[in-house]
Amino acid sequence: MRRKTFARMNCSIARALELVGEWWTMLILREAFLGTRRFHDFQENLGIARNILSARLKKLVARGILERVAAPDGGRRFEYHLTGKGRAFFPVLMALMQWGDHWVAGCERAPVRVVDRESGREIQEINVLSSDGRPLGPSDIMMVPGPGAAAATRERLSMDRQPCSAPDASATVPRILDLIRQA
């Protein structure tokens, strides 16, 4: 059964998932950020079937996230390099990893630490910040129609709705972030 396409949805999240939402795609991108370039190395590092890897790499190239370039050895081999669009995905992947470290693996069992190459210190937690630098949680924001909003999106966002919140959510999010930073 084919999955539904999100390509025509009036939602940036849905349309981004259309490009990178397949689970192998995220892991291929992780590998690309780790420096993996060749088909064989992607396959070996991921344990992915050749046909699936081939299809995902073709999609990532067609979508402008990876580019296929001749390998420097001058042979018939190719390498896959992140494009500017692909490199811009880095914060998304880091946020997903940090969420997984906290909520799935547990911070004390995180499989990988990400450190600043220059200082050797761990990177900060990815946060949503206000224009003046304050951390924001779900109850601190509201969505308003953007320039590309369809009529249905405009109508939906114009409804008087309460922000997403849990009891004491505004106090809980900063406390969780402080605990993660201390870990």
What is the length of the chain? 183
- Banded model confidence at residue 176, pLDDT cuts 50, 70, 90: low
Helix (H, G, I), strand (E, B) or coil at 182: helix
**Is residue 102 classed exposed, middle or buried when 0-12, 13-18 and 19+ CB atoms within 10 A define those classes?**
middle
- Which position has the higher pLDDT, 53 or 76? 53
Q: Are 122 and 114 in contact (CB under 8 A)?
A: yes
CA pair distance 166, 59, nearest whole angstrom: 39
The domain 12-87 is classified under which CATH number: 1.10.10.10, 3.40.30.10, 3.40.50.1100, 3.40.50.300? Answer: 1.10.10.10
CA pair distance 141, 152, nearest whole angstrom: 21
The residue-averaged pLDDT of 71-82 equals 89
pLDDT tens string 106-159: 888 999 999 999 999 999 999 999 999 999 999 999 999 999 999 988 888 887
Q: Which of 10, 38, 7 minimizes the C-alpha distance to 20? A: 7
Domain boundaries, the chain: 12-87, 91-182
Backbone angles phi, psi at 100, to 5 degrees: -65, -40
The residue-averaged pLDDT of 24-44 equals 96
Q: Which of 148, 146, 144 minimizes the C-alpha distance to 159? A: 144
Residue 169 is predicted with a pLDDT of: 47
pLDDT tens string 44-71: 999 999 999 999 999 999 999 999 999 9
Give the lowest-confidence range in 100-104, 115-119, 158-162, 175-179. 175-179
What is the four-CA torsion angle of 61, 65, 69, 73, rounded to 10 degrees? -120
The residue-averaged pLDDT of 84-103 equals 94
